[in-house]
Amino acid sequence: MSTATVLASARAFIAEDFDATTVQELTGLLAAAEGGDARAISELTDRFSTTLQFGTAGLRGRVEAGTNRMNRVIVAKATWGLGAFLLDGAPALGVDATKQGVVIAFDGRLSSRTFAEDAAAILAAQGIPVHLFPDPQPTPVCAFAVADLGAAAGIMVTASHNPPADNGYKVYWANAAQIIPPVEGGITDAIARAPLANTIARMHAPDAFLAGLRRLIGDDLEQRYLAAIGALGWHKPNATGLPVVHTAVPLRIVYTAMHGVGHRLTVRALQQAGFEGVVVEPTQTDPDGTFRTVAFPNPEEKGALDLAIKKAIEVDADCILANDPDADRLAVAIKVPGGYRTLTGNEIGVLLCHDALLHADAGAKQRLVITTIVSSTMLSRIARDLGAQYDEVLTGFKWIANKAMEREADCYFCGGYEEAIGF
């Protein structure tokens, strides 16, 4: 891309951007580039060399001005495209967005609430009702809400375990799984037809509410979520009402939310399963978009669990559980002689799936486990030895979820995982 084209792209972006912060940022960078600053030209080239596209987990990037970044312009066009596809293409797939609405959730990152409100305003202006969470939520709760409310789609504003400067935008379909072809392609094509961001219609929250196009999700949905995950447990309670595993092994657990949104529901879920003596790492408990105690908020990264390990040593914990910031991934460290050892994603996934294969009540159906093509081959051998079905899919939760639903007519889905601590 030539420098002239890059500069023209930057000017065009400024012309349609409705956010004063990114306009000011990009205007200064453009002025430096027009003055011949090589570093500014290089930065602009990176920001405008391409446009963010839906990947394995939706849109994700650094929050800055530019077509190759996450910002309100990108969110506005993505939402307009999603809405256009829901109105034009989704009816042929049996989805009626004007009746079912769209769930919108967001994590605790600094720009997440703004992006979520932008999406809500644009969908409402398109005549699509929005089911909006009023507070930050874990990604799995967004997916659950799509199914629970019978929504046409779901939007989760999150960058998962990316660095603090990033944010992202995941889209779920009516089946509560992230989008795959042909839906993904239909939405992408619609986004390409989106008008200038500052011309996209928006409906203010009070007007949307009065028109029945903005519905805040109440606490009762969280109660249904906790009840649902409790019912899925495959270790049935004994006569005391507590899970068998808990009464046999009264675990000492240290938990950290990694400055994300997992703490409140995770601790409640553990409590309802009988694990009440959970110790939390207090400095990482509440959502904090600056992630002040970790350089990289991914529990897989070296050093990310240091504070949790220190707390575990203090209370002589048996294990450490850690969510990533949007709580759709789980790290585990176990007590060993001399300290704690962090399990790999493959180790956790194989342990969970093996346990489910042994104990889940599949009825008359064959048991099924699923992993990805880049994960360990160990699960395939366990499934073979236990006479269970096994599938491999491309990397990404969306492929595991859709494959599980594809096979559910003749199989009981016990579990699935990818090696990047996703289960």
C-alpha to C-alpha distances, 383 to 120, 355, 415, nearest whole angstrom: 44, 11, 11
- pLDDT at position 1, please? 79
pLDDT of residue 237: 65
Please state, for a pLDDT cut of 90, what percent of the chain lies above it: 88
User: What does the pLDDT average to over 142-155?
Assistant: 98
Catalytic residue among 9, 111, 112, 160: 160
Q: Which residues pair with 268 in a beta bridge?
A: none
CA distance 59 to 11: 23
330-355 pLDDT, tens per residue?
A: 999 999 999 999 999 999 999 999 99
Whole-angstrom Cα distance, residue 56 to residue 28?
Answer: 33
Distances (CA, A) of 258 to 9, 308, 349, 360, 386: 38, 9, 21, 31, 37
Q: Are the beta carbons of 413 and 336 closer than 8 angstroms?
A: no
Residues 6 or more apart whose CB falls under 8 angstroms from that of 104 comprise 116, 119, 120, 123, 130, 131, 132, 133, 154, 155, 157
For a pLDDT cut of 70, what percent of the chain falls above it? 96
* pLDDT the model gives residue 275: 87
What integer pLDDT is reported at residue 141 of this predicted model?
98
| b/e 8-21 (16+ beta carbons within 10 angstroms → b) | ebbeebbebbbbee
pLDDT at residue 248 tops 60:
no
Q: What is the mean pLDDT of the chain?
A: 94
Would residue 160 show up in a list of annotated catalytic residues for this protein? yes
233-343 has the same fold as 54-219: yes
Assign domain 347-417 one CATH number from 3.40.120.10, 3.40.50.150, 1.10.540.10, 3.30.450.20.
3.40.120.10
Q: For 39-66, what is each residue's pLDDT tens digit?
A: 999 999 999 999 998 877 689 999 999 9
Domain 233-343, CATH number (from 3.30.465.10, 2.60.40.10, 3.30.2310.20, 3.40.120.10): 3.40.120.10
Q: pLDDT grade, residue 295 (50/70/90)?
A: confident
3-state secondary structure of 71: coil
What is the pTM assigned to this prediction? Answer: 0.94
Q: Would you list the DSSP string of 261-316?
A: S-HHHHHHHHHHTT---EEE-GGGSS--TT-TT-SS--TTSTTTTHHHHHHHHHHT
Residue 239 has pLDDT above 60, yes or no: no
The predicted-structure confidence for 306-326, as pLDDT tens digits, reads as follows 999 999 999 999 999 999 999
- If we measure between CA atoms, which residue out of 180, 143, 198, 158 comes closest to residue 61? 158
Hey, where are the domains in the chain? 1-49, 54-219, 233-343, 347-417
DSSP 242: S
CATH architecture label of 54-219: 3-Layer(aba) Sandwich (3.40)
**pLDDT digit string, tens, across residues 211-226:** 999 999 999 999 999 9
